[in-house]
Amino acid sequence: MLLPVLIGIGRLAGFRREQVQHAFVAVNNELVLAQCRNGRPLKSVLLLMPHCLQDRDCKVKVTHQVQNCKRCGKCSIKDLLELSEKYGAHLAVATGGTIARRIVIDTRPDLIIAVACERDLTSGIQDTTPLPVFGIFNQRPFGPCINTQVALEQVEAVLKSVLPQKRDGSDN
């Protein structure tokens, strides 16, 4: 309920909707990191990605089984798979909010690191409360929903922050 109120107040103060959404996600992210630092250790982290990260000309469907990716490097799915393996996080790709909610219910993570556009990210954070969601806005150099990109270094920085010990498989 807070975000619509903030957007209304922001408009009165001369801020664009996107500016308020970015501020909302920034504050949320700080709260999530504080909760992770001061709470119990995380057992499971979900990397929840939008399907528009996949190269639009790719013939391989990764939305229901991200491991189908051929790791050709034309999009960031390959790099996200490598990060998920490196840190022991679950990686999922969703086509929309309904599928994303199902993935969250099925995986029951302690933390979600989600990438999406402003509208989807802010609504997703609100929909999953009280589950902590660290949000990262996708980059859209080709416009919305086509070959979007993600700041992989930001994803990895969050993983390092919440999972300080890298998992290499030898300590399990």
* 171 occurs within a structural domain: no
| CA–CA gap between residue 167 and residue 144 (Å, rounded) | 34
Q: List the chain pLDDT tens, one digit each, 172 residues.
A: 677 677 778 777 888 888 888 998 999 999 999 999 887 788 899 999 999 999 999 999 998 899 999 999 999 999 999 999 999 999 999 998 889 999 999 999 999 999 999 999 999 998 898 899 999 999 999 989 999 999 999 999 999 999 855 545 444 4
Total number of domains constituting the chain: 1
Helix, strand, coil tally for the chain in percent (to 5): 50, 15, 40
Q: What is the CATH number of the domain that holds 7?
A: 3.40.50
* 44 occurs within a structural domain: yes
* Domain span including residue 88: 2-162
The crossing angle, in degrees rounded to 10, of helices 152-162 and 77-87 is: 10
* 168 occurs within a structural domain: no
- Whether this prediction's pTM lies above 0.85 is answered by yes
* 102 occurs within a structural domain: yes
* 169 occurs within a structural domain: no
